[in-house]
Amino acid sequence: MNDLEKTARKTVLPVISVMVIIWIALSVFSFSKTKKHHRPQTKNVIFGKETALKGKKIFQAYNCMDCHTIVGNGAYFAPDLTKIYKKTGPAWLKAFLGSPGSYPTKTMVKMQLKQLKKNNQTNISSLKKYLSKFEGAQKRIKYRSGTESLMPNLSFSPQQINALIAFLKYSSKLNTEGWPPKVKAKKTVIQRKRRELEKRSGLSVATGTKAANTSTPTNNSGGQSSPSAVAKGKKVAMKLGCTACHSTDGSKKIGPTWKGLYNSTVKLNNGKSVEANNAYLKQSILHPDAKIVKGFHKGKMPSFEGNISDEQLSNVIAYIKSLK
């Protein structure tokens, strides 16, 4: 062995030793940092007595990842849901999942917040404070309120909705180190749907008032509508988000259709039948769980008591009457 080889061996051993020490130090540091990333247990995250674990099973059963992504996994046809609870909060999610075929209006979110407060599921008392905390809900109400979504109108039960919210609450608690990256998508689909709805109804989906650059809505006789109770009722229904759950053309949605409803015989879940007169419609709007229509769930529709005036209530009923 010559002097060069001896020198090389003496040099390489200390270098390898230093590299091993650095590798061990970095490994310890890396694992120590990871320990701080507490991962909550799905069974410990609860919303409305339902666990995130149950919500995860429902999420999988409905194949939500065929369209959505969560923590970066899934398809990319629909928004990533990892932090959706943190962005929009429980009231907006509850309003949306109750009728996912249409984005909730401001009134619907307000009503859900009121119900959550009543059930001690939130400490936020006013919608203003809620929207200040959950800016994602504020943006969605501003740009999407009342607009049709591309999501199918899945008829989730109240228990399933609570479980899904618990699961989305769980995913929002995960420390994902910024993953997945923020997706910048165009709003063209939503804007197109919004314009179509305003053109079809003649009303602004955000406010329920007459939309700009739209033709005057016509009545069943083909003439121009006057500012009657029917026209006012249509505006109220749009503003409150009633048409997100109840169709006016006989098609199936989350709630019973309004077409031909007035004076018809309605079959109830308890096996009885009732006539859809003024008293029935008023009770169904103010106390929706009093009589549940056959095939529909209790607890799906929030009570409009305190959120609708007597005049508005009469106008909505007049509008329902007109849908023969």
State how far the Cα of 42 lies from the Cα of 58, in Å rounded to an integer. Answer: 13
DSSP H or E run through 74: strand 73-74
Smallest CA-to-CA distance from 229 within 274, 286, 278, 263 is with 278
For each of the domains in the chain, give its residue range(s) and CATH number, in order of start: 42-173 (1.10.760.10), 222-322 (1.10.760.10)
pLDDT band at 185 (very low <50, low <70, confident <90, very high): low
Q: Decide if pLDDT at 247 tops 50.
A: yes
Give the single-character DSSP code of 259. T
Q: Decide if pLDDT at 213 tops 50.
A: no
Q: Decide if pLDDT at 219 tops 80.
A: no
**Considering the entire predicted model, what is its pTM?**
0.73
Q: Are 308 and 240 in contact (CB under 8 A)?
A: yes
pLDDT per residue as tens digits for the range 1-30: 567 777 777 788 888 888 999 998 888 777
Smallest CA-to-CA distance from 241 within 322, 140, 159 is with 140
The reported pLDDT for the residue numbered 309 is 93
Smallest CA-to-CA distance from 317 within 245, 240, 254, 233 is with 233
The reported pLDDT for the residue numbered 34 is 54
Highest mean pLDDT out of 91-105, 169-183, 201-215: 91-105
The reported pLDDT for the residue numbered 83 is 94
> What average pLDDT does the structure give for the chain?
84
Smallest CA-to-CA distance from 42 within 171, 158, 159 is with 171
- The more confidently predicted of residues 196 and 273 is 273
The reported pLDDT for the residue numbered 204 is 56
pLDDT per residue as tens digits for the range 59-76: 999 999 999 999 888 988
End-to-end CA distance of the chain: 105
State how far the Cα of 241 lies from the Cα of 188, in Å rounded to an integer. Answer: 22
- The more confidently predicted of residues 91 and 185 is 91
> For residue 101, which phi and psi values (nearest 5 degrees)?
-75, -10
The reported pLDDT for the residue numbered 32 is 62
- CA distances from residue 250 to 97, 147, 246 in whole angstroms, order as listed: 22, 19, 9
Smallest CA-to-CA distance from 94 within 47, 43, 150, 44 is with 47
pLDDT per residue as tens digits for the range 139-177: 999 988 888 888 888 889 999 999 999 999 999 998 887
The reported pLDDT for the residue numbered 275 is 96
pLDDT per residue as tens digits for the range 27-59: 877 766 555 556 677 778 999 999 999 999 999
The reported pLDDT for the residue numbered 189 is 67
pLDDT per residue as tens digits for the range 260-301: 999 999 999 999 999 999 999 999 999 999 999 998 888 888
Q: List the helix and strand counts (H, then E) for the chain.
A: 11, 6
Q: Decide if pLDDT at 86 tops 90.
A: yes
* Dihedral angle over CA of 96, 100, 101, 102, nearest 10: 10
The reported pLDDT for the residue numbered 186 is 59
